[in-house]
């Protein structure tokens, strides 16, 4: 239970799959294989390449078919270190290993590039980027790190970030009198209290996440609102 939620509860008790066409194979801009003498090491042995059996789904990739599942699988492998920094990612090899089309591979690599996990350059190809280049505030990366080898560092860093954000949001929210949002906060506190007493972790987690999202919304700071996804991801993995 978060410190803010505990405080409020105490107070409340008081008063694609996309199958590509042959033409798709020629439109991928980073299809170059590594140059001779720079062949990519085989990193796929022992990896479950049946995307239908990828057990855990991240919030950002859930419900997007093969595309989302491939993003999830590759993202986890990069964050875990199975695919290390500067490791070439050859689209043909990925497509063959995971039995997906070039379209699925292309779109998945674009998503990973937007997250800062890979870089793609003409005549160089796609390569894994170092941790210093990752968007560590991306909700998917937060989750992948929290369930990987970096989980202890990730959870410590998330808690430190929350301890910075949440007290500020609470102070700002105290100066805003939106009764509808305040009532909803009280409702979430009541739901959390009931769920905690019943041992209903799922309901408690959902109410806790909404509580913190509403608190940041009530603060009236648009920059803080952009951090609500980070707080939600932190709550889900804590």
Mean pLDDT of all residues in 119-133: 93
Instruction: Identify the DSSP state of 82.
Output: S
Angle, nearest 10°, between helix axes 201-218 and 151-174? 50
What is the number of helices (H) and of strands (E) in the chain?
Answer: 10, 3
The fraction of the chain above a pLDDT of 90, given in percent, is 35
- Residue 151 in contact with residue 60, Cβ under 8 Å? no
What does the pLDDT read at residue 238? 64
- Residue 88 in contact with residue 127, Cβ under 8 Å? yes
What does the pLDDT read at residue 232? 80
- Residue 162 in contact with residue 236, Cβ under 8 Å? no
56 vs 172, residue with greater confidence: 172
What does the pLDDT read at residue 45? 62
Sign of CA dihedral 220, 116, 112, 146: negative
232 vs 50, residue with greater confidence: 232
- Residue 190 in contact with residue 183, Cβ under 8 Å? no
What does the pLDDT read at residue 48? 57
Average of per-residue pLDDT values in the chain: 77
31 vs 155, residue with greater confidence: 155
Query: What span, in angstroms and rounded, lies between the C-alpha atoms of 169 and 161?
Result: 12
For residue 112, CA distances in Å to 51, 109, 134, 234 come to 17, 5, 10, 20
Model confidence pLDDT, tens digit, residues 48-74:
555 545 434 444 444 468 889 999 999
Mean pLDDT of all residues in 96-123: 95
Query: What span, in angstroms and rounded, lies between the C-alpha atoms of 129 and 119?
Result: 6
Residue 107 pLDDT greater than 90, yes or no: yes
> End-to-end CA distance of the chain, in Å?
9
CATH numbers and ranges of domains, the chain: 22-133 (1.10.10.10), 150-237 (1.20.120.530)
């Amino acid at each position: 239970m978060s410190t803010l939620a505990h405080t409020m509860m105490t107070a409340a008790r008081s008063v694609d799959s996309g199958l590509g066409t042959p033409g798709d194979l020629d439109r991928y801009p980073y299809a170059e294989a590594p140059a001779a003498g720079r062949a990519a090491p085989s990193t796929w042995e022992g990896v479950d390449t049946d995307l239908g059996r990828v057990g855990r789904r991240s919030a950002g990739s859930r419900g997007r078919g093969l595309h989302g599942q491939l993003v999830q699988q590759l993202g986890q492998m990069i964050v875990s270190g199975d695919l290390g920094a500067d490791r070439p990612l050859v689209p043909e090899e990925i497509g063959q290993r995971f039995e997906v089309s070039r379209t699925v591979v292309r779109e998945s690599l674009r998503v990973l590039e937007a997250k800062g996990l890979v870089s793609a350059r003409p005549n160089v190809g796609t390569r894994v980027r170092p941790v210093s280049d990752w968007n560590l505030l991306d909700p998917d990366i937060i989750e992948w790190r929290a369930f990987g080898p970096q989980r202890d560092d990730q959870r410590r860093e998330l808690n430190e970030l929350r301890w910075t954000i949440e007290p500020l949001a609470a102070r700002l929210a105290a100066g805003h009198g939106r009764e509808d949002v305040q009532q909803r906060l009280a409702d979430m506190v009541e739901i959390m209290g009931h769920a905690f007493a019943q041992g209903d972790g799922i309901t408690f987690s959902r109410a806790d996440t909404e509580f913190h999202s509403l608190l940041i919304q009530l603060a009236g700071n648009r920059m803080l609102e952009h951090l609500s996804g980070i707080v939600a991801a932190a709550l889900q993995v804590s």
